[in-house]
Amino acid sequence: MKELNKIKGYWDSTFSYNFDEHNMWEGKILLYENGWFEGIVVDPYSSYTEDRFIFGIYHPDKVIELYKFTPLYVSSPFVFHASKEDNGYNGQLETIGLFGPTLFGVTHITTQPVKENVETETEELENRIKRYKETIMDEVGQEFYDNSISIKNALSTIILGNYEGKQFTNLEIQEIMKECQPVNEKVMESTNKAINEMFEELDDEINDFIDIDDEMENEDVKKLSRKKYQDFLSSLEDELPFN
């Protein structure tokens, strides 16, 4: 069973809760029985006019956790965390990067069940979701989506439990970890690979720079260039999630 809903989201990166139509996205979602949803939205005032893919966990009377994806050349992925209030769902949004989420601003989300032409609009939305997955979704988005949907039951349990302030039993934690562990290992492997590739690229770039620098007569300039590079590497290493 699935339920068709309209959805509209606002964001404010100044944290002042001044929401307006220029910082807004809207579209439709299909909500399934277990709280998992998928949908398509557009940003009406963006120069990028293609569909954007959203998915996540939604418990209408309580909470919504929404991931919003476009190809990386357009935008970083976002995650919206919002709890039910009288006027909709209010909360925060973060960007998702190599080293994890970064707080970006605040958000307000509204939803509304679709009651007319449900069958036709459901079919249209399913086709748009399929099109996004087959022709627009990039490798990063595909990997994140695959990982998320493979642990959707654990995600739903965690998100709902956190909203309700629940204390998980040891058995419940073990069940959650059992579902999540394979994905955690895949994510760590992908992160380490991306970091290694980044360092290899930096090494190539600094070696090219030092080759140029070696032609300079000023030894102080060469020492300073190398020191800045080493300091930069040290600062990155301090941020690595596996340190």
Torsion of Cα atoms, 65 then 162 then 176 then 171, to 10°: -160
Domain with 30 in it: 2-137
* CATH code: domain of residue 18: 2.40.128
95: in domain: yes
Of 120, 137, 154, the residue that ends a domain is 137
Number of independent structural domains in the chain: 2
Task: Indicate if 13 and 120 belong to the same structural domain.
Answer: yes
For residues 164-185, one letter each, b for 16 or more C-beta atoms within 10 angstroms of the residue's C-beta and e for the rest, the string is eeeeeeeeeeeebeeebeeeee
pLDDT 10s digits, 200-235: 766 666 655 555 555 555 555 455 555 555 555 555
Whether pTM exceeds 0.85: no
pLDDT 10s digits, 64-122: 999 999 999 999 999 999 999 999 999 999 998 877 789 999 999 999 999 999 999 99
Give the whole-angstrom CA distance, residue 104 versus residue 138: 23
Task: Indicate if 120 and 198 belong to the same structural domain.
Answer: no
Task: Indicate if 106 and 27 belong to the same structural domain.
Answer: yes
DSSP element (H, E) containing 37: strand 36-42
Of 137, 156, 184, the residue that ends a domain is 137
Of 89, 104, 137, the residue that ends a domain is 137
